[in-house]
């Protein structure tokens, strides 16, 4: 995997066929050129927009799971700044710069909540501004018949001006070989002041596996998502995403990004000449890097840089 594309509103995906225009100075020809350019821009915007859906649907679950598991992972890595304290506890060590984390009644009591508070707004080094709260409630999975592990909700939570609502529940069970399996049940709504809206539901299965000679050192991910998006005056675009059964996604514990596997998105566009798009993102062959490839309707794969970030709803 090895990408590096810079995405802008209309330049994210090049037009398949360049316009061959001979300027003859006739007003009707100028009008035709303008209409063709407008059509091309519209299609490019459609492609970028629905790709937002693909990225958001796969990325939000991953971001949430990192927040759910960060304390457990920190303790496993002998990171002492996430220590358990008497209830309630509030701390903001270096790993939580820009946010305050509060536990109540205590990390070792079930159920307990972890509130991640970004306050009135904090902008990270990569330019992402977050405000409001993410609230994660933890349960004792071993004591619950369905293995309930965590539920994430949001309180006035915004990312770059977009309002995030919904919930993500994670259940923790064991498979037939005794490996931990995390089952994710996702519903998220993303909206902004301009009236743009993205709403989707999904299910994901993260199974702990032994990878490249290690033991319990990676996740194998299977997932399905369905949703719709209304943006820029376009009627609801319906989409669904699926991880490729023949090319399952792998995310090692030691890597920040997915390193292997494929994800397919099928999109029905509400307007425009192209009614359906099929996009495929390939995370690579196992190398721990930030590269993937993206192809549309069977076209040439284009390198992209992970994590993918698109404007305006991501």
Higher-confidence residue of 97 and 170: namely: 170
| Residue for token pair 């040439």 | 300
Q: How far apart are CA 217 and CA 289, in angstroms?
A: 17
Q: What is the mean pLDDT of the chain?
A: 75
| Residue 313 main-chain phi, psi, to 5 deg | -100, 20
Which of 10-19, 99-108, 166-175, 180-189 is predicted least confidently? 10-19
Task: Categorise residue 12: left if φ over 0, alpha if ψ from -120 to 50, beta otherwise.
Answer: alpha
Q: How confident is the model at residue 46 (pLDDT cuts 50, 70, 90)?
A: low
The predicted pLDDT at position 1 comes to 44
Measured between alpha carbons, how far is residue 7 from residues 76, 133, 312 in Å? 37, 28, 11
Tell me: the pLDDT tens digits for 231-265? 765 667 788 889 999 999 999 999 988 999 999 88
Q: How confident is the model at residue 114 (pLDDT cuts 50, 70, 90)?
A: very high
Q: Is the CB of residue 152 less than 8 Å from the CB of residue 135?
A: yes
The predicted pLDDT at position 118 comes to 94
Higher-confidence residue of 115 and 58: namely: 115
Look up the pTM and report it. Answer: 0.76
The predicted pLDDT at position 84 comes to 34
The predicted pLDDT at position 267 comes to 80
Tell me: the pLDDT tens digits for 118-177? 999 998 887 788 999 999 999 999 999 889 999 999 999 998 888 999 999 999 999 999
Q: Is the CB of residue 182 less than 8 Å from the CB of residue 206?
A: yes
The predicted pLDDT at position 219 comes to 96
Q: DSSP letters along 98-117, please? A: T-EEEEES-TTSSSEEEEEE
């Amino acid at each position: 995997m090895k990408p590096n594309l810079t995405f802008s509103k209309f330049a994210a995906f090049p037009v398949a066929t360049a316009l061959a225009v001979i300027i003859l100075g006739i007003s009707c020809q100028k009008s035709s050129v303008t209409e063709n350019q407008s059509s091309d821009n519209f299609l490019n915007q459609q492609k970028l927009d629905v790709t937002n859906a693909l990225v958001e649907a796969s990325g939000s679950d991953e971001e949430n799971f990192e927040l759910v598991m960060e304390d457990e992972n920190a303790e496993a890595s002998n990171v002492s700044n996430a220590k358990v304290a008497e209830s309630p506890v509030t701390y903001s060590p270096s790993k939580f710069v820009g946010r305050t984390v509060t536990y109540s009644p205590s990390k070792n009591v079930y159920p307990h909540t972890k509130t991640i508070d970004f306050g009135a707004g904090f902008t990270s080094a990569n330019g992402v501004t977050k405000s409001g709260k993410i609230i994660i409630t933890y349960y004792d999975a071993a004591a619950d018949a369905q293995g309930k592990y965590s539920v994430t909700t949001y309180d006035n939570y915004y990312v770059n001006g977009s309002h995030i609502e919904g919930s993500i529940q994670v259940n923790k069970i064991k498979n037939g070989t005794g490996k931990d399996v995390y089952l994710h049940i996702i519903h998220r709504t993303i909206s902004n002041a301009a009236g743009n809206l993205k709403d989707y539901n999904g299910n994901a299965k993260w199974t702990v596996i032994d990878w490249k000679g290690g033991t319990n050192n990676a996740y194998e991910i299977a997932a399905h998502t369905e949703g719709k998006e209304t943006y820029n005056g376009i009627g609801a675009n319906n989409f669904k995403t699926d991880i490729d059964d023949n090319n399952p996604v792998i995310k090692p514990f030691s890597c920040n990004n997915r390193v292997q596997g494929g994800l397919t998105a099928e999109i029905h566009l509400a307007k425009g000449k192209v009614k359906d798009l099929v996009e495929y993102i390939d995370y690579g062959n196992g190398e721990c890097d930030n590269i993937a490839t993206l192809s549309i309707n069977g076209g040439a794969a284009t390198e992209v840089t992970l994590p993918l970030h698109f404007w305006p709803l991501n």
